[in-house]
A and B are shown apart, each in its own frame.
Chain A
Amino acid sequence: MKAVEYVEKIKSGELSAVETTKAVIKEIKKLNDYNYFNTISESLALELAERADKNPKGRLAGLPVSLKDDLCIKGVETTCSSNILKGYKPTFNASVVEKLINEGAVIIGKTNQDTFGFGSFNVNTDYKIPKNPLDTTRVTGGSSGGAAGFTALTKFPHVAIGESTGGSIAAPCSFCGVTGMTPTYGLVSRYGLIDYANSLDKIGPIAKNVEDLELVLDVIKGNDKKDSTSLNEDLKNDNKVKKIGLIKETLNVDPKIKDLVLKKLNETGIKYDIVSLPTITKSSLSSYYIIAMAEASTNLAKYCGMRYGQEEKVNLPFNEYFSNIRTKNFNKEIKRRIILGTFTRMAGYRDAFYLKAMKVRTLVIEEYKKTFKKYDLLVSPTMPIIAPKFSEVNKLKPKDHYMMDIMTVGPNLAGIPHISLNAGTYNKMPVGIMFMGDYLNEKKLFNIGNGLQDN
C-alpha cells in the first residue's frame, strides 16, 4: 500500500496507526538478523501513533518513518553507527524530525549505516553488517544500507529518511531494488544531521514507490533559519521532460547492466542523445574524496570523549586522553579518512589537493550547467555493479571501494537532484538507473520516475 493511500485510511479511521506501528515494530524485531536497525524507538513510536489516531490531521498521519542513524532525535540514541557515540542521546530534534512529527509521522527507529557515512557497502559499521534483502550473502550498499534494506523488505507502508554525501541514497537503492531521491543541496535543512561533509550532505527519502518519495520530500523540504545553507527557493514547477542525455562515459560497465539501463530508458519514449561529460566523469571522484575527507576530518575532531559519547576516567593530559578515546573508538575506515583528509589540508599540500579539488568542483558544476541547457535530464546506471557478496567485498582495496561511487559522485559533488529507480534484475539482483536534473528540478525526476515504475 502506498503511503498516500495508507494515510487516507488512517484519516478515515479504517486503519489504526497504533496497530500498524505495533506490527511494524514486531516485523523489525523479526527481521533482526538483517541488522537494519540500530535502535528501535518503540515508546516514541507508540506515543506518536496514539497521537495520530486521536488527531489524524497531518499529511503523514500514522505513517511509519525510519531515520538514518545520523539524524538527531531528542532522547533517542543516535550514533552514526560508530562506537564513539554509543549511548549518545541528543538534546534536540533535527529539523527534519520536527517536520515529520508535525505532519503526524511515526518515528520507528534509527537505521544502520556506514559509520558517519563512510562507505558504499555498509560494511563499515560498528554494529552488525546489514544484509541484502534479496540475498543475505550480499551487501545492502551504503551508506544508507539499513534504510534501503528495510524499505525493500517491510510489508507495511513505510518511508525511510536517508542521507547522501557522495551516493549514499542512490547506491543502496540500486542494490536493494527500491527508489530514492537525493534532492538539491540545501532543499532539506541539515540542522540536526550529524555531519560527514557539510558542503555535500543531503537528506532525502527512500521508498518503494515514487509517490511516497514525493509526499515525504514535500514535507521535509523548505527553508530553515537554523541551517544557513538552506535554500529560500522552492522547486521549479516545470516537470516536462523533452530530451535526455545519456552519459557516454558511464556506459563502460557490465554489458548486462548497460542493457537493462538502456531498455528502461527506452521505456520512457523520450528522445535521448549520448553525451560526453569528460570533466565530470574524469575528475569528480578525486575531487569528491578530497573535499569530503578534508571536511570529515574536521567534523570528527569534536569526538574526543569530553562532552558526549564514549568517555573514560580522565587521568592523562588532555591530548593523550583524546588520542586514547579516539584510538579505541574510531574504526579503521574513520582513521583512514581522518589521516587522508588532514593530509590534504596541511600547509604544503593544501594547494595541490584541497584547493585544487575545490576548483575542480567549480568546473564540474559548470559542465553540468552547460549540459542542462540542452537536456532536461541526464541518465546513467546508478552503480557499476550489482550488490557484491561479502566475500567479494572483503577482497577489495580501499581504492576499489571508492571507485564504486564513480556514477554517483558527480551529481553529489554538484549538489544536483537525482533519483535512483529499479531498472530490472540481473542474476536475480536489482540494477538501478539514475536520472539527474538541474537545480530544483526534482519535479522532472518525479515525473519520469512515475512513468517508469512497475505498478
Chain B
Amino acid sequence: MTKIGIEVHVQLNTKSKVFCSCSTKQSDEPNSNVCEICCGFPGSKPVLNKEAFEKALKIALALGCRINKETFFSRKSYFYPDLPKNFQITQYESPIGENGKYMSIRIRRIHLEEDPGALIHKGSYCLVDYNRSGIPLVEIVTEPDFKNAKEAREFLRKLITDLSYLDVYDKKSEFGLKADLNISTTGAKVEIKNVTGLKDIEDALVYEEERQKDEIPRKNETRGWNSEKGITFLQRTKESEDDYGYITETDLPLIEIGNKLLNQIKESIPELSEEKSERFTSDYKLNEKDAKVLANNKKLAELFEKVAEKVNPDIAAKWIIRDLMNQLNYHKKSLNEIEIKAESMIDLLKLFEEKKITDNTAKQVMINMITKKNFMPKKYIEDNNLIMKSDDSQIEKWCKEAIKETKKAVEDYKNGNEKSLNFVVGKVMQLSNKTANPDAVRKILVKLIRK
C-alpha cells in the first residue's frame, strides 16, 4: 500500500528576512539584499523577526497544532556552499507547533527556519546568490497519511489557498513552495528531495509511485527530481538517518508564548476555505461545486462576496465562475495578473440583472475588463449606446430587415424547423449591435413571420 508523507517548505511573505533587516525581494540584482548576518560573517548575530515568528505561529494554530509554550532555535549542521554559516538556524526539539490535523491528515510538526542562498549553475562553475539566504521558511511536516499522489495534491492546493487567506504566503512566487516527499509503496522508504512547485510535486509522486511498481526499492534511498525530464533519479542509499549534530542556537533566547499573544494570533485567523465554502452554500444558496470553486481562491472569493452584496448571488457566482474564468483561460491570463475591481463588476452585473444590457453585451464588456487597464464598464456601455433596446417599433424595424436578409431560414422555420428562428434572431442582434432585447425580438419575429 502506498504511503506518502510530505515536508512542505513555505516562504513567508514578510517584508524583511527572518534574522536580519534585509529585504526579502529576490528579483533584485544578485547579492544586493544581503548583509553580514544573512551572509554569516564572523561576529554577526541573528535577531528574530517578530512578524515571521507570528506568521509561523498563525500557521501552526490554523492547522490545529498544539503550541509549544516554550520554543527555541537550534543549529542544524551540514556543509554546503549555499549555506553561509554551514549550519542552518532551524527548530529541532521544540518546534512552534506539533500534532495538528488538517484535511484529516495528521501534521507532525511545524517550525520556523531560514532559507539558504541559491546556487546558480553555469556550465563548469557555479555562482551563489544570497538574496534568498535568510528568507523565513515554515516547514510543515505531515505524517505518512496520504494514500496516493492525488490526495497529496489536493492537500497542498487547499493548504496554499488557506495560507493565502492567512496572509502568510505569496501565491505569486511559485518557487516559494518546496517539498521533500517520502513515499513507500511495496519496498523501502524513498525520499525525493527538494521538489519545487505544486505541479512538479504532483508529477514526482505519480512518477515515483509508478516507478516503484517496476523497481522495488530494497534500501531506503534519497532521490532527486529532474523537472525537465519528469523523472526521479537516485542520489544515495541510506543505511541510517542523517546526522545533523543539532545543538541549541544560544544567540537566540528561549521564546515564551504567552496567552495574550496566543489569543491575539488566534483572533487574527480569518475564515479559511472549508468554512467559507460552507457559508457560501448556506448564506448565498450556491451549489456545493460553485461554493468550493470560489472559496478555494482567495481573490475569487473576495470578489464574489463584494459583488454579491449588490447583485443577486446566483448571477454573481455564475458570471465570476463561468464567464470571468472562461475569458481568463481564453486570453491565457491568470487572476493574479489582472486587476478586476469589484465596483466594475457590480456596475456590469447590475445592468445585466436589471435587464438593461443583453447577455451578449455583458460578455463583450467582460472581455474588455480583462484585457484593458482602467476599463470602466458603465461608461463604455453608455458611450457605445449598448443599453438594451426594448422599444417595439425599433425592434420591429430590425426584424423586418432581418427577415428580408434571411429568406431561407425564414422559409425553413415556416416549414416547421423551429431552430431556424435562432439564425434570424442572430441577424437582428447583429443589426442592433447586440442591444435588442432578445425576448422581445423573438416575440415580434414570430408575429411577423406568421402574418
Interface residues of A (CB under 8 A from B): 71-72, 78, 80, 85, 88, 90-92, 94, 190-195, 198-199, 225-229, 294-295, 297-298, 301-304, 306-308, 314, 318-319, 322, 342, 345-347, 350, 354, 358
Give chain B interface residues in 63-85, CB to chain A under 8 Å: 75, 77, 79-81, 84-85
Cα A303 to Cα B43 in complex, Å, equals 12
Cβ A90 vs Cβ B45 within 8 A: no
Q: Which residues of A contact B44 (CB under 8 A)?
A: 92, 191-192
Cβ B41 vs Cβ A301 within 8 A: no
- In this assembly, does B416 line the interface, its C-beta being within 8 Å of a C-beta of chain A? no
Q: Assess A228 versus B243: contact at CB under 8 Å? Given A301-B77, A302-B42, A302-B85.
A: no
Q: Which residues of A contact B343 (CB under 8 A)?
A: none
Q: Assess A346 versus B81: contact at CB under 8 Å? Given A228-B47, A302-B42.
A: no
Cβ A298 vs Cβ B75 within 8 A: yes
- In this assembly, does B241 line the interface, its C-beta being within 8 Å of a C-beta of chain A? yes
Cβ A90 vs Cβ B247 within 8 A: no
Cβ B36 vs Cβ A91 within 8 A: yes
Q: Assess A226 versus B45: contact at CB under 8 Å? Given A302-B84, A354-B247.
A: yes
Q: Which residues of B contact A229 (CB under 8 A)?
A: 250-253
Cβ B250 vs Cβ A295 within 8 A: yes
Q: Which residues of B contact A318 (CB under 8 A)?
A: 79-81
Beyond known contacts A92-B44, A298-B85, A304-B86: 13 more, CB 8 A cutoff: A72-B43, A90-B41, A190-B45, A195-B42, A227-B47, A228-B46, A229-B252, A294-B247, A298-B75, A298-B245, A308-B41, A318-B79, A318-B81
Cβ A307 vs Cβ B41 within 8 A: yes
Cβ A92 vs Cβ B36 within 8 A: yes
Q: Which residues of A contact B48 (CB under 8 A)?
A: 228
Cα A228 to Cα B81 in complex, Å, equals 27
Cα A78 to Cα B43 in complex, Å, equals 10
Cβ B42 vs Cβ A85 within 8 A: yes
- In this assembly, does B155 line the interface, its C-beta being within 8 Å of a C-beta of chain A? no
Q: Which residues of B contact A298 (CB under 8 A)?
A: 75, 77, 85, 87, 245, 247
Cβ A308 vs Cβ B42 within 8 A: yes
Cα A228 to Cα B37 in complex, Å, equals 13
Give chain B interface residues in 266-286, CB to chain A under 8 Å: none
Residue from A294, A297, A302, A358 in contact with B40 in the complex, judged by beta carbons closer than 8 Å? A302
Instruction: Give the number of residues in B that approach A within 8 Å (Cβ atoms).
Output: 32
B176 to chain A, nearest CB (A): 26
Report the nearest A residue to B48, measured CB to CB: A228
- In this assembly, does B207 line the interface, its C-beta being within 8 Å of a C-beta of chain A? no
- In this assembly, does B39 line the interface, its C-beta being within 8 Å of a C-beta of chain A? yes
Cα A193 to Cα B75 in complex, Å, equals 19
Q: Which residues of A contact B250 (CB under 8 A)?
A: 198-199, 229, 295
- In this assembly, does B319 line the interface, its C-beta being within 8 Å of a C-beta of chain A? no
Interface residues of B (CB under 8 A from A): 36, 39-48, 75, 77, 79-81, 84-87, 125, 241, 243, 245-253
Q: Which residues of B contact A227 (CB under 8 A)?
A: 45, 47, 251
Cβ B45 vs Cβ A94 within 8 A: no
B119 to chain A, nearest CB (A): 10
Cβ B43 vs Cβ A192 within 8 A: yes
Q: Which residues of A contact B86 (CB under 8 A)?
A: 301-302, 304
Cα A74 to Cα B246 in complex, Å, equals 32
Cβ A322 vs Cβ B79 within 8 A: yes
14 contacts between A and B (CB under 8 A): A72-B42, A78-B43, A88-B42, A90-B41, A199-B250, A228-B251, A298-B75, A298-B77, A301-B87, A302-B85, A308-B42, A345-B77, A345-B246, A346-B243
Cα A298 to Cα B75 in complex, Å, equals 8
Report the nearest A residue to B251, measured CB to CB: A198
Cβ A301 vs Cβ B251 within 8 A: no
Residue from B46, B81, B85 in contact with A301 in the complex, judged by beta carbons closer than 8 Å? B85
Q: Which residues of A contact B241 (CB under 8 A)?
A: 347
Cα A302 to Cα B44 in complex, Å, equals 12
Cβ B243 vs Cβ A301 within 8 A: no
B130 to chain A, nearest CB (A): 9
Q: Which residues of A contact B245 (CB under 8 A)?
A: 297-298, 342, 345-347, 350
Q: Which residues of A contact B40 (CB under 8 A)?
A: 302, 307
Residue from A228, A294, A347 in contact with B252 in the complex, judged by beta carbons closer than 8 Å? A228
Cα A80 to Cα B43 in complex, Å, equals 11
Report the nearest A residue to B81, measured CB to CB: A318
Which of A88, A302, A345 has the largest number of chain B CB atoms within 10 A?
A: A302
B434 to chain A, nearest CB (A): 65
Q: Which 10 residue pairs across A and B have the least CB separation, nearest first?
A: A301-B86, A199-B250, A345-B245, A194-B42, A72-B43, A192-B43, A198-B250, A302-B85, A347-B243, A194-B43
Report the nearest B residue to A303, measured CB to CB: B42
Cβ A225 vs Cβ B47 within 8 A: yes
Residue from A85, A191, A297, A358 in contact with B45 in the complex, judged by beta carbons closer than 8 Å? A191
A190 to chain B, nearest CB (A): 7
Which of B41, B84, B249, B253 has the largest number of chain A CB atoms within 10 A?
A: B41
Cβ A91 vs Cβ B41 within 8 A: yes
Cα A242 to Cα B86 in complex, Å, equals 50
Q: Assess A304 versus B243: contact at CB under 8 Å? Given A195-B43, A229-B250.
A: no
Cα A297 to Cα B249 in complex, Å, equals 13
Which of B40, B81, B241 has the largest number of chain A CB atoms within 10 A?
A: B81
Q: Which residues of B contact A199 (CB under 8 A)?
A: 248, 250
A230 to chain B, nearest CB (A): 9
Q: Which residues of A contact B79 (CB under 8 A)?
A: 301, 304, 318-319, 322
Report the nearest A residue to B40, measured CB to CB: A302
Report the nearest B residue to A306, measured CB to CB: B81
Cβ A191 vs Cβ B75 within 8 A: no
Q: Which residues of B contact A91 (CB under 8 A)?
A: 36, 41
Cα A297 to Cα B87 in complex, Å, equals 11
A78 to chain B, nearest CB (A): 8
Report the nearest A residue to B86, measured CB to CB: A301
B328 to chain A, nearest CB (A): 45
Cα A301 to Cα B41 in complex, Å, equals 12
Cα A19 to Cα B438 in complex, Å, equals 101
Cα A404 to Cα B81 in complex, Å, equals 38
Q: Which residues of A contact B247 (CB under 8 A)?
A: 294-295, 298, 345, 354
A107 to chain B, nearest CB (A): 16
B76 to chain A, nearest CB (A): 9
Q: Which residues of A contact B246 (CB under 8 A)?
A: 345, 350
Report the nearest A residue to B77, measured CB to CB: A298
Cα A72 to Cα B42 in complex, Å, equals 8
Q: Which residues of B contact A350 (CB under 8 A)?
A: 245-246
B36 to chain A, nearest CB (A): 6
Cβ A90 vs Cβ B84 within 8 A: no
Cα A44 to Cα B41 in complex, Å, equals 22
Q: Which residues of B contact A302 (CB under 8 A)?
A: 40, 42, 84-86
Residue from A193, A301, A346 in contact with B43 in the complex, judged by beta carbons closer than 8 Å? A193
Which of B40, B87, B247, B248 has the largest number of chain A CB atoms within 10 A?
A: B247
B255 to chain A, nearest CB (A): 10
A6 to chain B, nearest CB (A): 30
Q: Which residues of B contact A307 (CB under 8 A)?
A: 39-41, 84
Cα A251 to Cα B279 in complex, Å, equals 77
Cβ B253 vs Cβ A90 within 8 A: no
Cα A346 to Cα B45 in complex, Å, equals 24
Q: Which residues of B contact A354 (CB under 8 A)?
A: 247
Q: Which residues of B contact A72 (CB under 8 A)?
A: 42-43
